[in-house]
Amino acid sequence: MSRSKDGADQGSKSGSDFLQLDIGQAPPGGRTAWLADRLRAAIADGTLPVGSRLPAGRVLAAELRVSRGLVTEAYQRLAETGQVAGRGRGG
């Protein structure tokens, strides 16, 4: 998935390192909402520039040590609100 605006892939950053995510900060039972909120904040502050790709779900899940389903659900929440747009398997 990428940001919903047109644009090419901006850089080769991946995973949670550049997003400075720490799943330990998530409230119990609220990890999906926390992750979606942190990604929204990264979009709003430009950490994830327009046209850039979100980290691969498998990579982000492995780095945060959470299930892929949790990451997929967070990405889906962003897509439902129009903050990101999927490109199928192309990112």
CB neighbour list of residue 10: distance below 8 Å, 6 or more residues apart: 49, 50, 51, 52
Comparing CA positions, the residue from 55, 64, 61 lying closest to residue 15 is 55
Per-residue pLDDT of the chain (91 residues; tens, 9 = 90+): 544 333 333 344 456 666 888 889 999 889 999 999 999 999 999 988 878 888 899 999 999 999 999 999 999 999 999 888 877 665 5
The structure's pTM equals: 0.76
Domains along the chain?
14-83 (1.10.10.10)
Residue found under tokens 């979100």 = 54
Pinpoint the alpha helices (H) of 1-65.
31-44, 57-64
pLDDT score, position 10: 38
